[in-house]
Structure 1
């Protein structure tokens, strides 16, 4: 069993809970409250901006150009490709994408961002990848799960979103990140592996919490909840 296979097995409980979350399952059913979708996009736009910066940190920790090229390609993917599922959500609720940008992060998303930044700055490349990997990996499996469970046709309201994350490009990103982490783990000490596992587990937990944050329209205490 590879290191990342072990990570997946150890965190299957979180993956399964994500698949059954009402927001995620609602995507498959085509039934998600508009205000939850708007809240999700607001937070995810800022979260992905942080993800780009952490990819930049991964580049600075990379000794090989092939790794630098990979993380640079992922920056381009987030900037130019991952906007498409956002547009699918925006079109469904009838709100312009620009209208949902530049909002402060809700508590859970803020914590998730700072968790990733902590591991990226305090740990090595393996720990950085460990914190990053649950995002593409859970989304890949969400796309596959919803595609299998609901077999959405082209007229499904979230067909584009589901197809995007079940697509080969998302599989490639997850596979390439796993291969890099497996290689790093082979030469990592027990303590380094422990830190990677902790970073990965917490990111999985925060992926679940992110869906809950969006579904409940979580706000900071004392802030007025706004649907858009």
Structure 2
């Protein structure tokens, strides 16, 4: 019996819990997150999406089969043709113009996580890259689902962040999360214990960098 993605979470359960249940996330669910903290996060998340697209371009280069190439291309196309436009529109609703986004400097937390993902992908193989990406691609979906189970989560117009939760709890993102989960399960089933230990380290570092990204939003730090 091989490994699964859930085994990565189990191996890093404390860090994963700190990420999923971070104060930024809790305040977002409760509708109490300061608006400026959310705006700061949104702006840096725009920059993150650009590097996320670069990561899938790297995944195309790292692909060894036509199926892998098509998968990476599909994710890259979705970010460039849909997600970035949606994010720009969402930022506009929060008073952040596209011109402002284009001129943004990267916060240290943004630099740290995005460059870690790209460096991991450059040094390793396609599985290394996907494991480094997974705290974002799978984690955001799990966060939305976790928030929807919490009694403190405020829904509807009483929560200015309800649309953010709904986006990641929605069918499109949940299906993308499921596809990534299945892809990782299939590849992890074939790895040795030594290789799994390496991937646990990648996953732990990426998760901790995601925690730093939440904290950056909460602190509104550069």
Give the alignment's TM-score, normalised by structure 1: 0.85
Asked if residue 157 in structure 1 is aligned to residue 160 in structure 2, the reply is: yes
Match of 1:63, SS state, is coil
Task: Say if 1:42 and 1:153 are closer, same or farther in 2 by CA, change over 3 A.
Answer: closer
How far apart, in 2, do the equivalents of 1:82 and 1:145 lie? 25
Which residue of 2 is the match for residue 226 of structure 1? none
CA shift for structure 1 position 169: 2.0
Match for residue 188 of structure 1 among 188, 191, 211 = 191
Asked if residue 175 in structure 1 is aligned to residue 182 in structure 2, the reply is: no
Match of 2:106, SS state, is coil
Which residue of 1 is the match for residue 47 of structure 2? 46
CA shift for structure 1 position 30: 1.7
Higher mean C-alpha displacement, 165-174 vs 76-85 = 76-85
Contact 1:108–1:210 (CA under 8 A) maintained in structure 2: yes
Contact 2:11–2:200 (CA under 8 A) maintained in structure 1: no
Contact 1:37–1:89 (CA under 8 A) maintained in structure 2: no
CA shift for structure 1 position 57: 0.9
- 1:1-228 equivalence runs, <5 A: 2-79=3-80, 80-81=82-83, 83-84=85-86, 87-88=89-90, 90-91=92-93, 93-149=94-150, 150=153, 152-153=155-156, 156-219=159-222
How far apart, in 1, do the equivalents of 2:90 and 2:32 lie? 14
Gaps of 5+ in 1: 220-228
Higher mean C-alpha displacement, 11-20 vs 101-110 = 11-20
Moved over 6 A (4+): none
Higher mean C-alpha displacement, 102-111 vs 75-84 = 75-84
Q: CA RMSD in A?
A: 2.2
Match of 1:133, SS state, is helix
Gaps of 5+ in 2: none
